[in-house]
Amino acid sequence: MSATTAEPRGYALVTGASSGIGVDLARELARKGHPLLLVARRRERLEALAEELKKAHGVDVAVLAQDLAAPGAAVALLDAVRAGGWSVEVLVNNAGHGMQGRFLDMDIAAVEGMFQLNVTALTHLTQLFAREMVARGHGYILNVASAAAFLPSPYVAAYAATKAYVHSFSEALRYELRDTGVSLTTLYPGITATEFNAVAHAKTPPAMNLSILSAEEVARVGVRAMFARRRALVPGLINKLNALFCALLPRGLVVRMAGLLLARANGW
């Protein structure tokens, strides 16, 4: 079945919807008239956002409070969606978190939890919901990676590796989904004005300040790219240039520069 460009009005499931880019992705989808399924751990934040979106846009919004880093979370979420009778036509895999510092100093349990959320949950949710979309012959998937996906970055080594996985997995799966009516778009945000860096205990190089975008802007262009069925999008001119330089310059040089800048920013 050939793909169409018409935007659906089925439910849009957004993970990581309680903060950061996820909140604004939900707002952008509601603004376009899509009913929503909001997923994250913090129910009170989800319920506050749900009330906001219902009042502002008149769309149906359901809250599914769940820790996607828990084993079996993807299947549990699919079961909850089926129990609610919701048909998901838009899947936004936004949930994720980062860790910054010397890898040898990190708590391995925390690192494993990050991999469970950033990699395992995203992979399993994509498979489960893409199967149903393909069966219906229509759907959109947006996987949120990071500009870190293009560069093995010292001091965010494990986090960058999770996003490199999202990059490789998403681009390959997009090809497998060709001619199914289901498209997969990958979003690669750079530094964004959210609470993400605070959670990751991250300080960024001053040279990167000019590249910072608002979560609202990232969400707007990301949703637009998804519904245009674009392969990928790196928001912001400076971030696009950084991605280009990472591809063109010798890898060893780029890694060394990234390491020096992050070490200096954090006083290491």
Interhelix angle 122-136/73-84, nearest 10 degrees: 40
Q: Are residues 188 and 234 in contact, defined by beta-carbon separation less than 8 angstroms? A: yes
Q: Write the burial class of residue 93 (CB in 10 Å: 0-12 exposed, 13-18 middle, 19+ buried).
A: buried
* CA gap 168, 150 in Å, rounded: 10
d(CA 185, CA 232): 5
Q: Is 159 a catalytic residue?
A: yes
In angstroms, the CA 5 to CA 13 distance is 19
Do residues 8 and 138 make contact, with C-beta atoms less than 8 angstroms apart?
Answer: yes
Query: Measured between alpha carbons, how far is 27 from 243 in angstroms, rounded to an integer?
Result: 28
Residue from 11, 155, 159, 188 carrying the catalytic annotation: 159
For residue 75, the one-letter residue type is: V
Alpha helices (runs of H) in the chain, residue ranges in sequence order: 20-31, 43-57, 73-84, 108-115, 122-136, 157-176, 196-199, 215-227, 237-248, 251-266
* Rounded Cα gap, residues 197 and 84, in angstroms: 35
DSSP assignment letter at 119 = I
Residues labelled as active-site residues: 159
